[in-house]
């Protein structure tokens, strides 16, 4: 939701525009055969660098709780999974973090929505090059915006020129709106009242609310129902669901925390997420996110042609993401320090949850869950370092070039 900017004072910006950080999710064929140079014989290494990077977030940066789940399908069976936690899931009880806990995943939701749209493209019910007005005439009109000139592709890759409704003045204090219900059309209408953003790429959850309206128009069903029917249920993602107006998180979950104006930690778990919709409302878990990512890239969700479209990237604004990041159709790509690239998406919600799932080009994946948003530039960089370390630790040159 707001975007994450490692160069800004707040360190927040993507999907919820200054409120909810949208970061990371993608992968390549995750069920690869054994790759030369992968671990064997039960020697899984210590993963000490990954553990240290995780602890930095809680011990130095003051994050309440953090969890990381690493999956390496190219390794031998004992070494395929690492689950590590640090800090506290619930300050009331002192319960520690757990990698099986559910959380609000923010803008990771966008990759689910993009996958649905590309399924409809494969079925020839939508066209990437078609203008919005072909499906929703008159929805985008006025204040310099014209739905006849904005394509489905531009919505998916944030090159539509639409403002983000989350940048409206009322969202400067999102906690004041935490129990309100929002309708997608109302939020789109509010966005169109804002000034047109600068540059050719501008991250805006508005784009994905418009995509949700397109899905409803061509299928006759809500986009939430279609994602549940086509993706969540077939993949058996039992921790993943749409909360609707329910402000609770059902099932085992970490609580989430944010800081008030005086720097005090506030419980932000209860939140009406209708403001995020198909751009940021999903609840999920690290395990479900990695299962979704694997299915996306092993062909269970999309034909190869549509998967290739998702991975066609444009240059992103480094001030709103981070240096080296590029944006595809609901996916972000980022260079790895050890060579190669990770693909992914992630998100932050104003109540404090942050999720990220990323996959490297050799198939190793990582899902990270925080229950408090990093408050400093250093903490944001440490968050990205955990992703990079998890995907690079112990990689051989053969795997780096895979």
- List active site positions: 107
Backbone φ and ψ of 258, nearest 5°: -135, 165
Q: Residue 54: which residues within 8 A CB-CB, separation 6 or more?
A: 66, 67, 68, 84, 85, 86, 386
Tokens of 389: 């370390």
Q: What is the dihedral of CA 57, 96, 102, 248, to 10 degrees?
A: -110
CA distance 87 to 284: 20
Q: Residue 261: which residues within 8 A CB-CB, separation 6 or more?
A: none
Longest Cα–Cα distance of the chain, Å, equals 64
Query: Scanning the structure block, which residue is given the tokens 């009109």?
Result: 141
Closest by CA to 185, choosing from 133, 243, 140, is 140
CA distance 132 to 140: 8
Closest by CA to 114, choosing from 279, 356, 285, is 279
Instruction: Spell 269-282 as b/e; 16+ CB within 10 A means b.
Output: bebbbbbbbbbbbb
Strand partners, 370: 66, 354
Q: Residue 303: which residues within 8 A CB-CB, separation 6 or more?
A: 122
> Which DSSP helix (H) or strand (E) runs through 223?
helix 223-227
Tokens of 369: 């869950």
Closest by CA to 325, choosing from 289, 299, 358, is 358
Backbone φ and ψ of 188, nearest 5°: -65, -45
């Amino acid at each position: 939701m707001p975007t994450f900017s490692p160069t800004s004072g707040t360190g927040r910006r993507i999907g919820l525009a200054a409120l909810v950080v949208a970061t990371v999710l993608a992968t390549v064929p995750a069920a690869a055969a054994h790759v030369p140079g992968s671990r064997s014989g039960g020697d899984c290494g210590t993963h000490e660098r990954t553990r240290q990077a995780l602890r930095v977030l809680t011990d130095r940066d003051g994050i309440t709780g953090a969890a990381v789940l690493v999956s390496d399908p190219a390794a031998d069976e004992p070494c395929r999974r690492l689950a590590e936690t640090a800090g506290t899931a619930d300050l009331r009880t002192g319960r520690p973090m757990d990698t099986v806990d559910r959380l609000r995943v923010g803008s990771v939701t966008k990759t689910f929505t993009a996958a649905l749209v590309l399924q409809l493209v494969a079925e020839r019910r939508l066209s990437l090059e078609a203008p919005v007005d072909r499906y929703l005439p008159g929805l985008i009109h006025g204040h310099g915006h014209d739905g006849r000139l904005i394509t489905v592709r531009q919505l998916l890759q944030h090159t539509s020129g639409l403002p983000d409704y989350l940048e409206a003045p009322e969202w400067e204090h999102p906690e004041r709106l935490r129990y309100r219900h929002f309708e997608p059309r109302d939020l789109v209408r509010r966005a169109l009242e804002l000034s047109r953003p600068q540059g050719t790429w501008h991250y805006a959850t508005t784009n994905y609310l418009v995509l949700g309206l397109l899905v409803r128009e061509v299928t006759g069903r809500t986009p939430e129902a279609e994602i549940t029917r086509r993706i969540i249920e077939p993949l058996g993602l039992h921790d993943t669901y749409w909360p609707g107006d329910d402000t609770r998180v059902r099932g085992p979950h970490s609580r989430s925390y944010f800081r008030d104006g005086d720097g005090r930690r506030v419980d932000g778990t209860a939140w009406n997420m209708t403001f995020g919709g198909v751009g940021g409302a999903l609840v999920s878990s690290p395990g479900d996110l990695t299962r979704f990512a694997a299915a996306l890239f092993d062909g269970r969700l999309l034909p190869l042609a549509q998967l290739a479209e998702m991975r066609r990237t444009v240059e992103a604004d480094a001030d709103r993401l981070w240096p080296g990041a590029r944006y595809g159709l609901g996916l972000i790509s980022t260079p790895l320090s050890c060579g190669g690239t990770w693909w992914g998406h992630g998100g932050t919600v104003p109540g404090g949850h942050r999720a990220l799932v990323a996959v490297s080009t050799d198939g190793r994946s990582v899902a990270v869950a925080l229950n408090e948003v990093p408050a400093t530039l250093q903490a944001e960089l440490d968050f990205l370092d955990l992703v990079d370390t998890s995907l690079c630790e112990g990689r051989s040159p053969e795997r780096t070039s895979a």
